[in-house]
């Protein structure tokens, strides 16, 4: 029953003809038509491995995803691969698809998802997990990997959430950890032979997955056995001697060799981040202890400044965009930032077609006056709002999280912004951080109120918006051992903040729903026992959980109870040093004992400087992979703050004990 003869397959189904009569009845039908500038209509062939790159959220959220766009181009450049794209259909179209028995489809050539060899998902947010199941089901593929037959496509995932792939291990045939640029080529080569087989059997599926487990950066969940001792995880170990006991993430050494996307997609309808995006570096060594992205993407690899300029110039000309974002985890740290920004601004005003109207955005602003200076240089016109992320309200708390922003840095930045014509400042904060006291929590409102006062000196109509999110401890961070705050505790803290923020017209407070934070925490550090929970929530209609109008905590609580699992045990419990973590068989290059030491330093309120410009403390990322930070400048950027290029002992009342850390030993690989 399991195998279909390849030659007996139905000819390619024309989904567009089936879909078209229904598009007038759904919201924003332009999400389903493709036709973007840069879209490709690749020719499928028996010798080409076909990938359907799928973002498990709406088109508006998924289209700008740079990871998928990069892989889309790299795969389509190969002779042995084709790639198309798909996005989660909104609920109205999903109802049509199910009623009319139309499968999930690619937007490029409107081909049925089930006709591809690989369904590859980007997972950037835990709350999209149920959407992944929904997309797999809409594709006509069994949601559980073990129920799939020889002829079903392989279901894969990559992206930051897959660093703990265990909660979704039941649903994935394979996982790609880290940078995908090289990995997708290696995987394609393995899949080529499997594709060429005229009959795919359960055995050939098993064999190709086993083969994939040998590819660096690829994790095949079904090749691993999980041992428990009661509620306690004992080990995740390979079933076969040729399967690696620990899977290392994939890291590209030189971003300059991968100037992608070359043909960024320009959508026909409105999407988020609707602008040209040029990645200026990957990785971050600021060392913020809550930040998973900064930890798992090390080392820092800068793109050569000349290549950035070329990608901006050619990208603007090709796309017709009038805005470019220089993306990274902290763009003001890019060695060539001033020169690059100046050349974009000057270049665009020299170019007769651009009318000098190109605006540049730096999505991750550092908190200091220098950064505001750069912002002023590039935003000559639209000075509406600037965003900073001090993350915590007190210096004590910021030392604990290693976000070494002094209050004077923040006030300098905000004062500088208001004095130069900006009227709105947005501040991002986390609450529920390790050892946070009510005084630390309330420090958020103090900071924000002080910013309002600074603004009032310049303009009566300033607005300061403080956005507060509940902290979710993430794998491969020093806080991975920390027990997350309960919903009740987060709600209490939000209440404190609301009371404290009352009465100010200029101060606006917004917060993330603590209930959603709970489910994120569950997924973030969960294990394979959460698979049935995710499946149950999906079966009860719990899709689009990251959309507040669809999020439903009751579904999750019910599913956890049915599975006999305790949210408390997964989310709110502090872990001990000797505990086996569900992601211990995965490696992001960081030594576990480095992370533990950094966790201890956090509790001791000791900061750790940025290793780009200070001696290496051997976190493991560079030494383990035999690569170095690729940073053009040997010194910190002008005005560098947060523990580099600045004497944090200087200045009034800065209670910092910024020690240069001793190396913490080589540790276990």
Contacts with other proteins by CB under 8 A lie at 16, 20-21, 23-24, 28-30, 32-37, 266, 268-270, 317-322, 352-355, 357, 381-383
CB of 28 to other proteins, least distance (A): 8
CB of 258 to other proteins, least distance (A): 25
Q: Could you tell me the two tokens for 554? A: 């009751």
CB of 283 to other proteins, least distance (A): 32
Strands 174-176 and 218-219: antiparallel
Q: Which is nearer to other proteins, 28 or 539 (CB)?
A: 28
CB of 316 to other proteins, least distance (A): 8
Place of tokens 């209440």: 495
Q: Which is nearer to other proteins, 66 or 354 (CB)?
A: 354
Calculate the CA dihedral of residues 580, 583, 587, 592 and round it to 10 degrees: -40
Nearest to 613 by CA among 632, 600, 586, 591: 632
Q: Which is nearer to other proteins, 275 or 661 (CB)?
A: 275
Cα of 576 vs its chain's centroid, Å = 27
429 strand-pairing partners? 391, 468
Place of tokens 């390849």: 6
Q: Which is nearer to other proteins, 347 or 483 (CB)?
A: 347
CB of 355 to other proteins, least distance (A): 5
CA-to-CA distance for 367 and 426, rounded, in angstroms? 12
CB of 110 to other proteins, least distance (A): 9
Is 370:414 a contact under the CB 8 Å cutoff?
no
Q: Which is nearer to other proteins, 34 or 217 (CB)?
A: 34
CA-to-CA distance for 111 and 93, rounded, in angstroms? 16
CA-to-CA distance for 391 and 466, rounded, in angstroms? 10
Q: Which is nearer to other proteins, 98 or 317 (CB)?
A: 317
Q: Which is nearer to other proteins, 379 or 545 (CB)?
A: 379
Residue 428 phi/psi, 5° resolution?
-100, 135
CA-to-CA distance for 419 and 417, rounded, in angstroms? 6
Q: Which is nearer to other proteins, 317 or 342 (CB)?
A: 317
CB of 180 to other proteins, least distance (A): 28
Q: Could you tell me the two tokens for 163? A: 């660093």
Residue 120 phi/psi, 5° resolution?
-110, 120
CB of 40 to other proteins, least distance (A): 13
Query: 3-state class of 509 per DSSP?
Result: strand
CB of 381 to other proteins, least distance (A): 5
Q: Which is nearer to other proteins, 318 or 539 (CB)?
A: 318
Q: Could you tell me the two tokens for 305? A: 């400044």
Burial 255-283, CB ≥16 within 10 A → b, else e: beebbbbbbbbbbeeebebebbbbbbbbb
């Amino acid at each position: 029953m399991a195998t279909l003869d390849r030659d007996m397959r139905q000819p390619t189904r024309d989904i567009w003809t089936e879909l078209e009569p229904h598009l007038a009845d759904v919201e924003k039908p332009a999400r389903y038509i493709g036709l973007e500038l840069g879209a490709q209509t690749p020719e499928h062939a028996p010798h080409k491995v076909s990938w359907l790159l799928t973002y498990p959220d709406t088109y508006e959220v998924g289209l700008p995803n740079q990871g998928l766009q990069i892989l889309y181009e790299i795969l389509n450049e190969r002779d042995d691969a084709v790639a198309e794209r798909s996005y989660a259909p909104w609920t109205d179209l999903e109802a049509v698809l199910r009623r009319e028995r139309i499968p999930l489809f690619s937007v490029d050539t409107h081909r049925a998802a089930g006709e591809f060899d690989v369904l590859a998902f980007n997972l950037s947010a835990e709350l999209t997990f149920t959407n992944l199941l929904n997309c797999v089901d809409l594709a006509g593929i069994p949601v559980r990997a073990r129920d799939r037959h020889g002829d079903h496509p392989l279901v894969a995932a990559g992206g930051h959430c897959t660093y703990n792939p265990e909660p979704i291990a039941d649903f994935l045939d394979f996982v790609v950890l880290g940078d995908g640029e090289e990995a997708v080529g290696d995987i394609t080569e393995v899949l080529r032979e499997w594709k060429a087989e005229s009959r795919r059997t359960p055995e050939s599926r098993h064999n190709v997955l086993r083969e994939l487990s040998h590819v660096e950066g690829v994790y095949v969940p079904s090749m691993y056995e999980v041992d428990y001792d009661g509620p306690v995880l004992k080990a995740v170990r390979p079933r076969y001697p040729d399967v690696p006991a620990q899977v290392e993430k994939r890291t590209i050494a030189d971003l300059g060799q991968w100037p992608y996307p070359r043909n960024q997609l320009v959508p026909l309808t409105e999407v988020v981040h609707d602008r040209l995006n040029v990645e200026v570096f990957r990785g971050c060594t600021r060392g913020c202890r809550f930040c998973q992205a900064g930890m798992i993407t090390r080392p820092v690899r800068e793109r050569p400044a000349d290549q950035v300029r070329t990608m901006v110039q050619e990208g603007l000309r090709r796309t017709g965009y009038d805005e470019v974002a220089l993306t990274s985890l902290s763009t003001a740290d890019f060695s060539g930032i001033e020169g690059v920004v100046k050349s974009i601004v000057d270049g665009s005003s020299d170019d007769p077609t651009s009318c000098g109207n190109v605006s540049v955005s730096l999505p991750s602003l550092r908190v200091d006056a220098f950064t505001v200076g750069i912002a002023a240089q590039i935003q000559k016109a639209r000075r509406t709002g600037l965003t900073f992320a001090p993350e915590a309200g007190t210096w004590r708390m910021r030392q604990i999280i290693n976000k070494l922003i002094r209050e004077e840095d923040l006030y300098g930045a905000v004062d500088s912004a208001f004095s130069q014509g900006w009227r709105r400042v947005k501040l991002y904060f986390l609450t529920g951080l390790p050892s946070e006291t009510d005084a630390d929590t309330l420090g958020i409102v103090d900071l924000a109120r002080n910013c309002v006062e600074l603004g009032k000196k310049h303009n009566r109509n300033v607005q300061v918006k403080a956005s507060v999110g509940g902290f979710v401890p993430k794998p491969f961070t020093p806080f991975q051992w920390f027990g997350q705050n309960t919903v009740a505790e987060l709600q209490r803290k939000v209440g404190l903040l609301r009371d404290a923020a009352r009465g100010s017209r200029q101060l606006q407070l917004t917060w993330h729903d603590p209930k959603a934070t709970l489910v994120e925490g569950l997924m973030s550090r969960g294990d394979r026992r959460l698979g049935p929970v995710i499946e149950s929530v999906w079966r009860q209609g719990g899709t689009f959980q990251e959309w507040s109008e669809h999020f439903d905590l009751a579904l999750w609580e019910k599913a956890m109870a049915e599975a006999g699992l305790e949210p408390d045990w997964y989310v709110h419990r502090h872990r001990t040093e000797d505990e086996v973590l569900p992601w211990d068989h995965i490696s992001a290059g960081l030594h576990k004992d480095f992370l533990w030491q950094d966790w201890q330093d956090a509790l001791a309120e000791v900061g750790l400087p940025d290793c780009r410009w200070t001696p290496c403390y051997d976190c493991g990322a560079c030494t383990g992979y035999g690569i170095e930070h690729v940073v053009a400048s040997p010194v910190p950027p002008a005005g560098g703050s947060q523990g580099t290029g600045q004497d944090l002992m200087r200045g009034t009342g800065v209670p910092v004990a910024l020690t240069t850390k001793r190396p913490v030993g080589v540790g276990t690989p």
